[in-house]
């Protein structure tokens, strides 16, 4: 099992991140691990060794931020960030995408089939972990929808689906609730 010391070592191996960014990421990982100790940090540990954060324009990324799992890169849209978004919130949101990234998707977002639900659930967890000190909300509608769906199908199904990349668990929750997917 990966420890926080392993995470620190992986971050220290990364030559693409500044010392300040590494400290910020480590602080967020500690917070995440304290709230969700049952979630494996194995994939995160590997990805932190080569993770990049690139600031760009709206032409590179129209959203505030985005994690590209194939490149293992978090893209930040500087023109959006300059509007006053909470950067701790943005970084935690994208770290959750790194934590839940598997070969071809994050969380339970297989083939973009559950993209909005995945984004909303990521937003809910981000808000739980670090809140949002800005008046600007990133995905409020998706968070409301994800909250309603987690109430409908049961948080245990959506939690397992999200952190274990197990879309079958999500579908099982829908089926149990009487919803056809």
Q: Sorting pLDDT into bands at 50, 70 and 90, what band is 131?
A: very high
pLDDT at 59: 75
What's the order of all strands across the beta sheet hosting 73-77?
52-56, 73-77, 65-68
pLDDT(38) > 80: yes
CB-CB contact of 74 with 21 (8 Å): no
Query: What is residue 106's three-state secondary structure?
Result: strand
- CA neighbor of 43 nearest in space, from 92, 89, 7: 7
pLDDT(6) > 80: yes
Calculate helix-pair angle for 167-176, 155-164, nearest 10 degrees.
Answer: 170
pLDDT at 82: 86
CB-based contacts of 62-67 (< 8 A; 24+ apart in sequence)? 64/90, 64/138, 65/90, 65/93, 65/94, 66/94, 67/94, 67/97, 67/98, 67/101, 67/106
pLDDT(4) > 90: yes
Q: Mean pLDDT in the chain?
A: 94
When pLDDT is averaged across residues 176-180 and rounded to a whole number, the result is: 87
pLDDT(181) > 80: no
pLDDT(96) > 90: yes
- Summarised one tens digit per residue, pLDDT across range 17-36 is 999 999 999 999 999 999 99
């Amino acid at each position: 099992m990966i420890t926080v010391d392993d995470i620190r070592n992986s971050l220290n191996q990364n030559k693409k991140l500044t010392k300040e960014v590494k400290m910020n990421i480590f602080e967020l990982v500690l917070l995440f691990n304290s709230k969700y100790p049952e979630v494996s940090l194995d994939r995160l540990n590997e990805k932190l060794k080569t993770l990049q954060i690139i600031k760009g324009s709206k032409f590179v990324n129209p959203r505030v931020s985005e994690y590209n799992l194939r490149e293992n890169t978090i893209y930040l849209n500087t023109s959006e960030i300059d509007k006053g978004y909470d950067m701790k919130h943005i970084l935690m949101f994208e770290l959750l995408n790194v934590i839940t990234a598997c070969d071809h998707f994050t969380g339970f977002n297989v083939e973009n089939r559950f993209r909005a639900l995945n984004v909303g659930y990521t937003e809910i967890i981000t808000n739980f972990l670090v809140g949002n000190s800005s008046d600007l909300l990133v995905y409020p509608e998706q968070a409301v929808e994800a909250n309603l769906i987690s109430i409908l199908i049961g948080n245990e199904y959506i939690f397992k689906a999200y952190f274990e990349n197990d879309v079958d668990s999500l579908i099982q929750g829908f089926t149990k609730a009487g919803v056809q997917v």
